[in-house]
Amino acid sequence: MSKGMSLLEILVVVAVFAILGVIVTRSVILSIGGSKKSESLVKVRENLNYSLGVIERQIRNANLISVCPNPDTKVINYQDQTGNSTSFSCLNVGTDNAYVASGTARLTSSEVTITSCSFTCTPATSVNPALVTISLEARDASASALQTSTVTSTTQIYLRNY
C-alpha cells in the first residue's frame, strides 16, 4: 500500500474548497448589497423628513395660502407670518435632478431624486382652517437599481388661525 494521496483525492478536496469559496463569496456580496440598500433608505428618509419638517413648520404658521385650491399641485404659494409671499415647489420632477425647493433654495440633497410630488390645498370651512396635503416620493440618486428603493411620505397640515 502506498503512502500519500492520489490525484483523485486532491481534486475532490480542491473542488470542495472551491464550492465553499463560491458560497462564502456570494453571501458576503449579498450582505454588502443589503447594507448599501439600508444606507440608501436611511439617506432618502432623512432628506424627506427634513424637507417635510421645514414645510410643515412654515405652512402651519402661514397667514394664508395664496390660491386654494391650487391649480398646480407641484407648487404651493403662501404668505408667511410676517406677510412675505413665498412658496414651496417640486422642480424638474421626472428627471434625475428633481428636488423640493423653498422659494429658490433647495431643500432636498442632490443625492436624492424626487420621483413624485404633490401639494394639495383644501379651502377653509366655517369649522376647519385651510388644509394642505403634501405627498413626496423619492429615491437615492446615486444607488444602482438593485440597491435603491422608493420612499414615500405624506402629511396633512392645518393652518393655524389666531
Which of 100 and 146 is assigned the larger pLDDT?
100
Average pLDDT over residues 34-40: 79
Q: Is the dihedral of CA 141, 39, 55, 82 positive or negative?
A: negative
pLDDT band at 143 (very low <50, low <70, confident <90, very high): low
Give CA–CA dist 88/106, Å, rounded: 10
Does residue 1 form part of some domain?
no
pLDDT band at 150 (very low <50, low <70, confident <90, very high): confident
Q: Is the dihedral of CA 21, 26, 31, 37 positive or negative?
A: positive
Average pLDDT over residues 39-46: 86
Domain count, the chain: 1
Indicate the pTM of the whole model.
0.72
Q: Is the dihedral of CA 62, 67, 73, 77 positive or negative?
A: negative
Mean pLDDT of the chain: 85
Please give the grid coordinates belonging to residue 58. Answer: 412654515
Does residue 111 form part of some domain?
yes
Give CA–CA dist 15/137, Å, rounded: 48
Q: Which range of residues forms the domain containing residue 94? A: 7-158
Does residue 31 form part of some domain?
yes
Does residue 33 form part of some domain?
yes
Does residue 92 form part of some domain?
yes
Does residue 2 form part of some domain?
no
Does residue 30 form part of some domain?
yes
Question: Could you give the count of Cα atoms lying within 13 Å of 62 in the half-sphere of its Cβ?
Answer: 26
Does residue 97 form part of some domain?
yes
Q: Which residues contact 40 (CB under 8 A, 6 or more apart)?
A: 140, 143, 147, 148, 149
pLDDT at 162: 47
